[in-house]
Amino acid sequence: MAGLTFLYDGAFKNLPHVYGAYSNAFDWVSVGINLNLNKGCDQRCVYCHVPGLVSRAPQAVNVDEVLQELEAALHSLSSSPLRSKFPALASDGISNVAICGDGEPTLCPNIDEMTVGLSDFLRSSRFDISIGPLVMFTNGHFLRKKRVRRALQGMSRTGSQLWVKIDAVSPERQLKVNGFAHPIGRQVDGIVAASEFVDIQIKSCLVSFGAALDAGEAKRLCDVYRELASRCAGTLSVDLYTINRPSRQNADVRPVSQAQLDEIGSMVRALGINVFVSDCGNYYSPNGT
């Protein structure tokens, strides 16, 4: 995601699966759950912040260990100096607990046990800080798999959200942006099926390879958003953003302009869809800081 600062110290020190994330664009603090210690993912997005991705699925996680790490982090956050460093923590608490790590989380063989464990933990735990909903951030390629359906069903107990990446629609642009062409119809069907359990937010990272995103691709994206809005069971929103640092995948890629993000945002709004448009182009740093 764009405009994020990752936090691995303080409350998150020595926790392999649990980390903090601060959004510069939206001024919120999230707690992340990383189920991909091996950096396993089936895509190779040009903007991915994870170096050294591999194609193998990760090993199953020890659910109890992850929950113990989460409990330790949440207890620390209740009194951590982070609360003075990030005022959003003191005023709004933790925005969400996000299953989002160094790879694609739905590849985790026991993602279903993990989401059920997390849902139960968040429903029954009491901390001196408010905690938002459980969220999963996915590329959406495996939403019809049985283990992922069970995982989504487990999440539905906590009013959760599924954040699904759709950065490109045409196979040519998918290959360029995501390093992988995935049939968009299959992805849409998976998202519609997932909406039976959770609210959906589509995350579209729009990038430039030297020229503005062409009008045809912008229209194709809007067509996909429109189809999803008409078929999904719960609420659907769209988050448009761009990269905020140079690629760590050795790709010659840049942010799209704020004007283009705003223009596509207006097209989505005209469809009657709730859309968030980041001004994260302002956060782009050539040094990656």
When the beta carbons of 89 and 98 are compared against ligand SF4, the nearer one is: 98
CB of 27 to ligand SF4, least distance (A): 23
Closest distance of CB 129 from ligand SF4, Å: 28
Q: How far is the CB of 103 from ligand SF4 (least distance, A)?
A: 5
Q: Which of 69, 71, 65 lies closest to 113 in space, CA to CA?
A: 65
When the beta carbons of 40 and 93 are compared against ligand SF4, the nearer one is 40
Nearer to ligand SF4, 45 or 122 (CB): 45
Residue 41 or 222 with smaller CB distance to ligand SF4: 41
Nearer to ligand SF4, 89 or 168 (CB): 168
Place of tokens 């994260």: 280
Q: What is the C-alpha to C-alpha distance for residues 221 and 167, in angstroms, rounded to an integer?
A: 8
- Name the residues that contact ligand SF4, by CB under 6 A: 41, 43-45, 48, 50, 53, 103-104, 139
Q: Closer to ligand SF4 by CB, 18 or 41: give it.
A: 41
Q: How many Cα neighbours within 13 Å face the side chain of 254? A: 11
Give 158 or 244: the residue with its C-beta nearer to ligand SF4.
244
CB of 194 to ligand SF4, least distance (A): 16
The least distance separating ligand SF4 from the CB of residue 138, rounded to whole angstroms, comes to 8
Q: How far is the CB of 76 from ligand SF4 (least distance, A)?
A: 27
DSSP result, the chain: -TTEEEE-SGGGTT-SSEEEEEETTTTEEEEEE---TT-B-S---TT---SS-BSSPPPPP-HHHHHHHHHHHHHHHTT-THHHH-HHHHHH-B--EEE-BSB-GGGSTTHHHHHHHHHHHHHH---SS-B--EEEEE-SSSTTSHHHHHHHHHHGGGT-EEEEE----SHHHHHHHHSS---HHHHHHHHHHHTTTSEEEEEEE-EESSSPPPHHHHHHHHHHHHHHHHH-SS-EEEEEE---S--SSS---EEPPHHHHHHHHHHHHHTT-EEEE--GGGG--TT--
